[in-house]
Amino acid sequence: MNHQQPRLSIGMPVYNAEQFITEAIDAILAQTYTDFELIISDNASGDRTQEICQAYAAKDRRIKYYRNDRNIGVHRNYRRAFQLATGEYFRWATHDDICAPQGIEKCVEVLDRNPDVVLCYTKTKLINEHGTILEQNYDENPLLTNSPHAHIRFRNLIIDSFSRRYRGQQLFGVMRHSVAATTPLLGDYSGGDKPFLARMTLLGKYYEVPEYLFFNREHSQRSSSKEMNSPYLRMRLFNPDTKGEKPVFPRWSVFLDYLSAIKDVPLSLSERIRCYLVLGTWLGKNKNWEQLVKELIKASVWSIYFSKHRQMLVQQHQAEIPSS
């Protein structure tokens, strides 16, 4: 193993992760693929996360622990973990999910064999806080993100995949670092992972390993839990310094970043036009255009909409807001 520059970098952004992080790190260390570095980016945790991570780093030289001076927000911490990576391949890992021992090895093998594949992931099962597989689980309909046509991959991801519950786990697959580095990565807003995944699928194919080797944990403390559905609470996940004076436009941010991806990625003229048409279809799906209009209306009356009651709500939940 080349310890100077491992082939794979695993970035784990964490925040107050003491409940599950031991299990997550143990699962990574149990991988049959061993040529990796594990980069832990701690978002100024206030629990035992630092102590646990430093103990692991002292035992295994592949583990590198970094701590932010303050909470910089979820996706900025994801970007920091990526920026610290040195490997040819990259994978984000969370502190609460589990990857089966052969999961990473199978993904690396696919990327090694297929230069046109930019991201490889495995099938996913939902588990609870005890590790028990849940009855309500991921949609089994196959994706078409391995199509040779960029507009088909784009449509299948932003319309056929993201509209379904428990999708988007491609983010935790193994990707080519050099390709991901050409993108803006994850935006600082709710849903900021979607344009990144959409841009990646415009740049190349995805491949799904047909085995259940990734286990996504549902629990009350995760940042996507129901109590965080308010946009005014969620925005603090991505920008902890915000005080709510300015309106938030998460759906517009997704839409504009989709537009930017189509414009920026090198595509043939016909593929680019087809992608714009796909985005037009997206506007009419799942009331996306209505959500865009609603965000503009809210912005026009923001001082009223963001009342003292909502400011109080943010303040009350500030200490409870999870992050990564």
Classify residue 31: in a domain, yes or no: yes
- The domain tally of the chain equals 2
**What pLDDT shows up at residue 144?**
80
* Residue 205 forms part of a structural domain: no
Query: pLDDT exceeding 90 applies to what percent of the chain?
Result: 67
Domain CATH code at residue 2: 3.90.550.10
Residue 28 counted as domain residue:
yes
Q: What is the mean pLDDT of residues 283-310?
A: 78
Contact in structure between 52 and 59 (CB atoms under 8 Å): no
Let me know if residue 213 belongs to a domain. no
Please indicate, yes or no, if residue 63 is contained in any of the structural domains: yes
> Measured between alpha carbons, how far is 67 from 40 in angstroms, rounded to an integer?
8
Last residue of a domain, one of 37, 65, 95: 95
List the beta bridge partners of residue 149.
none
Give the model's pLDDT for residue 52. 98
Report yes or no on 122 lying in a domain: no
User: Residue 1: its pLDDT value, please?
Assistant: 43
Q: What pLDDT does residue 227 have?
A: 44
Express each pLDDT in 190-230 by its tens digit: 889 999 999 999 999 999 999 999 999 987 666 554 445 56
Determine, yes or no, domain membership for 308: yes
- Distance, in Å, from the CA atom of 114 to the CA atom of 209, rounded to the nearest integer, reads 13
**Structural domain ending residue among the three candidates 95, 129, 147:** 95
Q: Which of 66, 95, 124 is the last residue of a domain?
A: 95
Spatial distance between the Cα atoms of 196 and 271, rounded to a whole number of angstroms:
19
CB 144 within 8 A of CB 159: no
pLDDT, residue 160, reads 84
Q: What is the extent of the structural domain holding 29?
A: 1-95
Mean pLDDT of all residues belonging to the chain: 88
What pairing do the DSSP bridges indicate for beta strands 8-14 and 98-99?
A: unpaired
In a domain, 259, yes or no: yes
Single-letter residue type at 275: C
pTM: 0.90
Model pLDDT for residues 139-194, shown as the tens digit of each residue: 666 678 899 999 999 999 999 887 666 567 899 999 999 999 999 999 998 889 99
Q: Looking at residues 20-38, what average pLDDT do you find?
A: 98
Name the DSSP letter for residue 63: E
Mean pLDDT of the 97-125 span: 97
